[in-house]
Structure 1
């Protein structure tokens, strides 16, 4: 289906974006495909098809007259950030940046290499397939002046959860943990009681992919803090949680004790996602977090150990109660258009057209299912995805977010999770998500980038130091952390700004302060 060509720019919009007036020649020519370069990080390595067999890029060139190119990075996300910063500093920017979290989006916004899009996309001129974008979503990515610098992706069901080696449980005579205390006991047993029976001290209870406050820890955090993040959240008209809260301190003590007991992978702070996966499939890890059902991880593990069994671990109960309160957000990922692309109104128009097409039926189906015979087959009129890593690249190309955003559609769920046990697990993962969101993600409060970026680095550094036992969690140590957090690193000013935003928006009464 061909898209209607959208006239998205007025003279005022072009001025606001600092665009050049001329459009003739070069890649903006009528017959020459418009080159669009996308910079994207993805957590694991991906096998891309040969250019001649790449149905996605071929279709986009044919349907949209766009020559889409990707600068793809994997491994530790911090290395991608350093590479992107170097590109920005040298003026060698891509046209589009896929921001997989809002911290990186806000950094780019504050550093000025992505452009405001208020005059490009707003409630009065949204293309048909971007009609999911709401004013609240745009507010949640706006700066203090109300300018937003991205095209927000649609939100869908969160597909996060932990998985456990059920064969190790059986070998050691253990039950699946249901509480954080039971989790600690099982993790320590997996590390110390030789669950694989090889006579070697080579297993860990739990590992992560590097970041000490990211998805790998969300479920454990939720059990202690009431949110799958130490960020503040609203409950009963009050502001709760936070990185200096007693509940976060209790979580850190729990993790420190696990590390001291040898239950955790000692390299988890320096792993990347690829190294985490490698340890799981090599049979070194008993419990791990997965975004999405870990079908490929299970396949690789069973290739190395045919007797390996993996089971979903429902949300744990802890001091904050039972349930998994993931950070329900107005925007989880967004696409930024750079100052380089903004020099060409035609290029920006084509970027919006591309994103609109990807959200439409033709683009969505292609990016979900790929090519018949290569990525999927049809059985009795239903699509069933073929197993293997040949499908991974579809999500990398997809600028509208991962496939989990569409799993509320049962046909999509059946295509990707056709085995009955897997299908039921995915349903359980979706149902296990709570409905509590941080004040930032829901757009109730603005994150001030001039304060938050340095503060977040300090928080991450101190989380690792506390968990590894390199900083004290006694009263004196905690008070020193709180003083630095609230004073030198601006946490107190951030909280004051949160309170002000909540009061202005009517979400928090003055007497609740």
Structure 2
């Protein structure tokens, strides 16, 4: 494999010389390989983020156990999450990269990939049992059709709806299976006194200014996930399809019928769950695990409400059962071509990451050391750090160097019934998720005009839902989108997609 040892073309005008002097691949400097062909890496530097003010130190007993497991000395450089993006760019500009570096699909990362700063891992990952990536996630993390980073996996099927199952019983209905069922339940929760207090004080579904519930629900009608294909195999935006418009009509209907909150377009997302916690609303379309947070809030207000919620993943329309996936990851670990110079060294680093992501590695990073940080009694997990918070510092930041591939393998406390149900729904959703075929593509036009283009359609959707825009008005918004750069964007996306498909052949 040919490697370009080129420094990335990050805009140095954005970086001060003083900042550049501060950066290094670790606080103690890079260690390990001397760069000669065939040399071995005795230690591996890993740069990742931390959410704790006092992250886990390199001399932690848990880090020492991980070193024993992987056979490598580990030099961890934790950067505060709030400043990680800036530090990432500074490190790239310095050219002094750690062996392993956390990044995301930012413009600077993509530029670094294209300048040869990171290894192309596409043809190597299949050889490592604990580095297997879901096909959808592999597409999502790819750049120009190739994989340059190992993703930190997150549930693909996380999107779901939380529902008051006690209200369902009160109105004599069952969990919805179709859009028609869903609509009928929204009406019953609004009109049939589901809480039995004799007051007209409930409604069907709460929505905030966060647009994702609309994106999730419109796919139930058969609308594509952001981009779909026309009859000629060309990529087209979701809002140009008949199925999207069908969903819009339905959204306007449930708004006119008072089945959702009138103030959804200005409702603060941080207040979104309050109506359900306060007993005002019966459904929220969000993510499955938000059910636990809602239940906690409800129980704090009324301890008897400890088993009133359920979760479902999607309801079916004319196009069957489908749901919108998440991206399936949060950042990726990439391997530097300047610090890891040979294919032999690359395989050493991949073996290190493979061991780190083994069951034993995940348990150490997430649970700590048995007998010190936790106990297992007949398979029942007990967290000892709850009694001594100081012990948690010995491993709490290590979750930021985990990838959870191909699945989570660490110990967890015993699940509640609602947590088990949420996990079941997320697992089942993976069979019905529909990926965005254009997500892996890097558009220059969108980088320049994306916010403007998104606002045109986002504003038009809201106006249509609340009745301020009809079909003709929405068509005009599409025309404005096309003439404001959207037409060029569609053309560019199709060209990028064709190139990406060719690179896989």
Interval containing the TM-score (normalised by the shorter chain): 0.5 to 0.7
The answer as to 2:472 corresponding to 1:481 is: no
Number of the residue aligned with 1:317: 316
Answer whether contact 1:168 1:196 (CA < 8 A) is retained: yes
CA shift at 1:240, angstroms? 6.9
CA shift at 1:113, angstroms? 11
Task: Provide the C-alpha distance between the structure 2 equivalents of 1:147 and 1:355, rounded to a whole number of angstroms.
Answer: 19
2:6 match: secondary structure: helix
Q: Given the alignment, which residue of 301, 305, 330 partners 1:304?
A: 301
| CA RMSD across the alignment | 5.4
The answer as to 2:259 corresponding to 1:259 is: no
Task: Provide the C-alpha distance between the structure 2 equivalents of 1:314 and 1:125, rounded to a whole number of angstroms.
Answer: 31
Answer whether contact 1:123 1:134 (CA < 8 A) is retained: no
Number of the residue aligned with 1:38: 49
The answer as to 2:434 corresponding to 1:450 is: no
CA shift at 1:364, angstroms? 1.7
Q: Given the alignment, which residue of 397, 400, 415 partners 2:399?
A: 397
The answer as to 2:62 corresponding to 1:59 is: yes
CA shift at 1:425, angstroms? 5.5
Q: Given the alignment, which residue of 487, 493, 506 partners 2:488?
A: 493
Q: Given the alignment, which residue of 456, 463, 466 partners 2:461?
A: 466
Deviations 1:250-303 (A, max 9, x none): 222322333343332445455566433454434344212353443343233223
Distance 1:378-1:500 versus aligned 2 partners, 3 A rule? same
Q: Which runs of 5+ in 2 are unaligned?
A: 11-19, 33-42, 68-72
Answer whether contact 1:259 1:266 (CA < 8 A) is retained: yes
Number of the residue aligned with 2:437: 439
Q: Given the alignment, which residue of 362, 365, 390 partners 2:360?
A: 362
CA shift at 1:164, angstroms? 0.4
Task: Provide the C-alpha distance between the structure 2 equivalents of 1:436 and 1:139, rounded to a whole number of angstroms.
Answer: 13
Q: Given the alignment, which residue of 15, 25, 34 partners 2:6?
A: 15
Q: Given the alignment, which residue of 212, 218, 221 partners 2:218?
A: 221
Answer whether contact 1:118 1:148 (CA < 8 A) is retained: no
Task: Provide the C-alpha distance between the structure 2 equivalents of 1:277 and 1:34, rounded to a whole number of angstroms.
Answer: 42
Which entry has the higher C-alpha Rg, 1 or 2?
2
The answer as to 2:378 corresponding to 1:380 is: yes
CA shift at 1:310, angstroms? 0.5
Deviations 1:197-225 (A, max 9, x none): 5677765532356431x3x4454122113
CA shift at 1:30, angstroms? 5.5
Matched residues, number: 455
Question: What pairs with 1:1-150 in structure 2 (closer than 5 Å)?
Answer: 13-17=4-8, 27-28=28-29, 36=47, 38=49, 59-60=62-63, 63=67, 64-72=73-81, 99=104, 105-109=105-109, 117-119=117-119, 121=121, 123-124=123-124, 128=128, 131-132=131-132, 141-143=141-143, 150=149
Distance 1:127-1:506 versus aligned 2 partners, 3 A rule? closer
Task: Provide the C-alpha distance between the structure 2 equivalents of 1:152 and 1:258, rounded to a whole number of angstroms.
Answer: 39
- TM-score normalised by L of structure 1: 0.66
1:489 match: secondary structure: helix
Task: Provide the C-alpha distance between the structure 2 equivalents of 1:234 and 1:58, rounded to a whole number of angstroms.
Answer: 57
CA shift at 1:35, angstroms? 8.1
